[in-house]
Each structure stands twice: as structure tokens, then as C-alpha cells.
Structure 1
Amino acid sequence: MSLWPEELGCPAAAGSLLLCAAQLAVGYAVGSSLGRGVGAADRWALVWLCYDALVHFTLEGPFVYLSLAGSVADSDGIIASLWKEYGKADARWLHSDPTIVSLEMLTVVLDGFLALLLIYAIVKERYYRHFIQITLCVCELYGGWMTFCPDWLIGSPNLNTSNWLYLWVYLVFFNGVWVLIPGLLLWQSWIGLKKMHQKEMKPGKKFR
């Protein structure tokens, strides 16, 4: 395994990482603006949710379209180039793998709109906020598991872990973020629901 892959210096890799950084910057700007009237934890949650929705609609949405119309491998354009670069780490994204495409269809439609609804619920302090937050996080975690588990069970023939960029950046980091942050948001909902339950309890009754 090379310590620093030559691919990092190629235009496709650099462009893909710059595009992801630009999306994160937009998510931060929009989330910070929407979160001016909320606490720090919710403000960071809004930053993440804005970035999350942006990724679902502007990256994964076009991936679904390209995969249904043909395949990423046979497509051209900026978004196709980004997915071709990621496809160097996971070949299933290049050739319209039915499991991946099915999951991404659900992710774009369900997770994308749940993220928007959760943004609204946090900003407007709606009663259904934690229900939506838990639902979205479970969907994100399930999607991550079903993305990789089928390939793991057959020996990971489609995953390329031959260099640092593909393994630790494309596969571990970019997918791990969608495990870590939903996990933290689930914990936030657990604490929030616990506090609400405690407020509703009768005086002297022990909470379990």
C-alpha cells in the first residue's frame, strides 16, 4: 500500500475533493444563517443537515439519473467525473449496481426531504423534531450498512483498498461521516426526549 497515492495530484481527484469542500462551505454558510436563534448543538446540526441535503440532491440525485439512463462509466460531465473518481474505490458505482442504485433512490427521495423537514422543525421548534431526527438517522445508518455489507459478505471484490486515498478518504472518511454524525444526532435525540419526559413526570416519581 502506497503512503501517498499519485492519484491525489490528478485533476479528477483534486476536483472531486474541491467540490466536496465547496458543498461543505455552502452547508456551513446556510446552516449558520438558519441557526442564529438556536443553541450551539442545534446550529451545528443545521450545518450538517444543510450539507447532507445538498449532497443528496446535487450528487446522489444525478447519480441515480445517470445510473437509470445508462451508467456512470458511460456518462460525461462534472458529476459523472466525480462519481468515476469515487468508482476507483468502489466499482459498483460505475456500472449501475442494482443494490446501490436502489439504496440511492431511497436516499435521495426519503433522506433528502427528511433532512429539509428536520431543518424546518429545528428552526421552528416543532414538536415532531426528534421523531424526524431519529427516522432520518436510522435511514442514514441503514443505508450505510446496506451499501457495504453485501460486498463484504462476498469478499469485497468491488472495493479497492490498494492506496491511502481510496481506502481512508473515499471509503472510510466519506462514508464514516454518515455513521458518526447520525450517531451523535441519535444521542442528542435520546437526551432531548429524556429531558422532555422528566419534565412531564409527577414530582417524586423516579425516572428510569
Structure 2
Amino acid sequence: MSAQMLNSTLSHPPHPYYPIEAELIGYLANEWSVLSLISAFAAGWAGILGFTLLVLSFVAPKLGKADRVAILWFILTGCIHFFFEGYFVVNHTRMAPAQDFFGQLWKEYSLSDSRYLTSDPFVLCMETITAILWGPLSFALVYLIAAEHPLRHPVQLIVSVGQIYGDVLYYATSMFDHYFHGLSYCRPEAYYFWGYYFFMNFIWIVIPAYYMTKSICVMSRAVKFANEAAGQRKSK
């Protein structure tokens, strides 16, 4: 092997991601197994959600079941947006060799979308907006729901629409490259596409769509009631 080929191999080591010609400088394979990563991730969420329920039992014991579920959703989504996706935003230039827990999780997910290892402009901008806006606003929603604050539904509508919009663009940009440029960022195994890429992101379309619809209905009824009350006052 020539010195030039050796230097190229050292600076761009072989990797399992698609496209296979993607340059992942300093790439290191994960040290944790897939099962260990997923189990630790799930255990962390179970602990966070369990602690949230415990706190709610003290600070808002009369809160309804539907509102408790909403709080759990926005706690989960806020943590993912702010901490997990925020980690990517801060560390996007060093994802390929990362060996900390979040870094290895991102490398596992990136088998379905290697753009997260190459500082792709769209993914970076989308995740930055998500971490800066939808993360903190999700945490704010937890307070608004627990306090039964009138701003709950306007903020819930904004966050939900933002999540859906970001997800649609995320799918669209990837599919555009796939069908128009013949460029795939996902490994060929079906479970990476359907399990990681499709299902794990589709959650942030289905659930936000439910809360978006709920907020629209509540706000619509409120406006209708206000208009009827105003009309009654005018008729007197």
C-alpha cells in the first residue's frame, strides 16, 4: 500500500454508513452494543417519566389523566429536543469519532440517516431550531398545562405545528435526494429505514397532530363563545 493510500485510509477509515463514499473523518465504531444503548436510553426515559409523575402527584394532584399524559409527552419531547438534539447541534463536527453515550446513540441512529455524521446543512439548521425553540417551549408547556394557564393551547399549537413542519421537511429533503439524485443516506436493511428513519420520526407527526387538532378545537370553541357573548351584550 502506498503512503498516499495509507494516509487516505487513516483519515477516512472504512465505515458502515451510506453512501459508502461519505467522508467521516476519524470515524470510530461504537464501543457499546445496540442492546446496551437502547436499554440504557429506555431506562433513562422510564426514570424521567416516573419522576415527573411523582412530582405531579404533589404539585398538581387534581390534574386530569389526559393532562398528565400531555405533560409526560412534552417532558419527553422537550428533553429529546433540548438535550439529545441539542447535543448534536453543539457536537456536529465531532460525531464520527464520538464515544460518549449520546454520541454513540447518534451513530446508531445515523445508520438510517448518515447526514447526522457529515454536518449536513439542512439537518443542522433544522435541529438547531428544534433545540432552541421547541425544546424550551415544550418545558414551558409542562408548566402551562399543570397550572391550567390560558396560554396552554396557543403555545401547544405553535409547538405541535413546528414539530410537524420540521418532520415533513426532514422526510422531504431525504426523499428528494433519494428519488431525484439517486443518493441514499440509509443502509439497505429494512429495519433501519422502517424502524429508525420512518417510525421514530413519524411519532413526531402523529402525536403533535393530535395535540394540534385538540388546541384548534379548544381555541375555536373559545372564540365562538366570546363572539356569542359579545353579540348578547350588543343586543341588550
Name the TM tier (shorter chain): 0.7 to 0.9
Q: Structure 1 stretches of 5 or more lacking a match?
A: 1-9
2: CA distance, partners of 1:104 / 1:200: 38
1:49-78, Cα deviation, whole Å (9 max, x unpaired): 0111111222111111111xx231132211
5+ long unaligned stretches in structure 2: 1-30, 232-236
Task: Give the CA deviation at 1:153.
Answer: 1.1
> Which residue is 1:4 aligned to?
none
Identify the residue that residue 155 of structure 2 maps to in structure 1.
Answer: 132
Paired letter, 2:78: A
In terms of mean alpha carbon deviation, does 30-39 or 163-172 score higher?
30-39
**Alpha-carbon distance in 2 for matches of 1:171, 1:186:** 23
Partner of 2:194: 168
Picking from 72, 77, 89, the partner of 1:64 is 89
Please list, as runs of the form range in 1=range in 2, the aligned pairs for 1:117-196 lying within 5 A after superposition. Answer: 117-155=140-178, 157-160=183-186, 162-196=188-222
The question of 1:105 aligning with 2:128 is answered: yes
Q: Deviations over 1:101-134 (max 9, x none)?
A: 1111111110011101111111111111111001
Change (3 A) 1:184 1:24: farther
Q: TM-score, normalised by structure 1?
A: 0.83
Q: Could you tell me which of 103, 112, 119 is aligned with 1:89?
A: 112
Give the Å deviation of 1:154: 2.0
Q: Which residue of 1 aligns with 2:223?
A: 197
**1:22 counterpart residue number:** 43
Moved more, 151-160 or 140-149: 151-160
2:106 is the alignment partner of 1:45: no
Q: Match of 2:53?
A: 32
Q: Deviations over 1:27-60 (max 9, x none)?
A: 4324434364322221111110011111122211
Give the residue type in structure 2 aligned to 1:72. Answer: M
Judge conservation of contact 2:82–2:135 (CA < 8 Å) in 1: yes
Percent sequence identity over matched residues? 27
SS across alignment from 2:94: coil
1:80 to 83, 99, 103: 103
Structure 2: distance between partners of 1:93 and 1:160: 11
Q: 1:14 to 1:165 in 2, by over 3 A?
A: farther
Distance 1:192 1:200 in 2: 12
Cα RMSD after superposing both structures: 2.2
CA shift, 1:194, in A, is 3.2
- Bigger radius of gyration: 2
Mean Cα displacement is larger for which, 191-200 or 168-177? 191-200
